[in-house]
Amino acid sequence: MKYVKLSVLLICGLMMACSEDNDDNLQLDPSEPNLVIKLKFDPNQTRLNNLGQPATIPLGNAAQSPTINRMSANYIELAPTATTPLETGEIIYVGAETTSDGAQAINFQNAVFAGDDETFITIPLSEVTSGNYEWVRVSLAYQEGDINLLANGQDITGTLASFVGYNSYITSFELNGSAFDINENRPQGFWAFEALGFTTQGQAPEGSTTVPNPLFDSSPIPPGSCVVTGEFEDGLSITGNETQDIIVTLSFSINNSFEWTEVNADGKYEPDAGEQVVDMGLRGLIPMVSN
């Protein structure tokens, strides 16, 4: 079962708390220490596969490292050990969800976004259970960034929107001023693209989005959930007696994370030649702690 089957009470309670935490931090007590979650996108970080092992680009495919402008996650959990089952650790964030189109889905219109080296959420440390945590799990929802492609013999840059969450309810969105009206659920792997006023959209094959989980054997994740798992180098300790903020930077690997099938073996993405997007998943997670 996907993590989205968490009890209704748990989800609603967390969504209310997180909504307050993310309302421009208006509800935060400036005298109280916080857990600050920041995002980082690293093109030089190791490229991993679904098992959390170093991965090369498959024969017949090509890939590039995009420039990520912003990202959204829908679930963050701190896990004490490598054997802590999904959903039984300290769940510190659950994003907005909806059943507007029938099935449960991430509510894209109410998503929280952050760019490189920006704060994603801020939570009072008093609301986080004290303890030692070795791992963090992050269910990704959306990425938006720039990619390079070859079109009509010219090298150009376009903007790609990647919906990597388990299911996303999307009313509409814009890329560089171009509007996309969807008004329905879209499964993991839906994407949209804009370049020089030209727009297109498509769907990556089911199950093709890479979701690195080094705990594949001891703590598996459901297919399609996009829960990326990363290990703290020296652990994360929360005592309950903190007097200053704890900053956790979630460093995601974007090392050749945009992958496509090659028709012309030149290492350039050429949609006009029939080259198809097959993977947009981030390629690893390293959480880092600072004060």
pTM above 0.75, yes or no: yes
* 105-121 tens-digit pLDDT: 999 999 999 999 999 99
C-alpha to C-alpha distance for 277 and 280, rounded to whole angstroms: 8
Determine which helix (DSSP H) or strand (DSSP E) holds 12, and give its type and residue range.
Answer: helix 8-21
pLDDT for residue 9: 30
pLDDT for residue 18: 36
How would DSSP label each residue in 120-159? EEEEEGGGS--EEEEEEEEEEEEEEEEEEEEETTEEEEEE
Determine which helix (DSSP H) or strand (DSSP E) holds 11, and give its type and residue range.
Answer: helix 8-21
Q: Are the C-beta atoms of 78 and 236 separated by less than 8 Å?
A: yes
Q: Domain-by-domain residue ranges, the chain?
A: 3-21+33-142+207-290
Q: Measured between alpha carbons, how far is residue 165 from residues 33, 91, 185, 194, 199 in Å? A: 31, 17, 11, 21, 22
The mean per-residue pLDDT over the stretch 16-31 comes to 50
Q: Which residue, 213, 235, 234, is CA-closest to 224?
A: 213
Burial (CB count within 10 angstroms: exposed 0-12, middle 13-18, buried 19+), residue 76: buried
Q: Are the C-beta atoms of 98 and 108 separated by less than 8 Å?
A: no
pLDDT for residue 233: 96
Query: What percent of the chain has pLDDT above 90?
Result: 81
> Tokens 């990520």 belong to which residue?
68
Residue 5, pLDDT > 60, answer: no
pLDDT for residue 204: 85
The DSSP output letter for 223 is T
Q: What are the beta bridge partners of residue 142?
A: 72, 163
C-alpha to C-alpha distance for 212 and 136, rounded to whole angstroms: 12
Q: Are the C-beta atoms of 134 and 84 separated by less than 8 Å?
A: no
C-alpha to C-alpha distance for 213 and 110, rounded to whole angstroms: 27
CA dihedral 27, 29, 30, 33 (to 10 degrees): -120
pLDDT for residue 29: 72
Q: How confident is the model at residue 246 (pLDDT cuts 50, 70, 90)?
A: very high
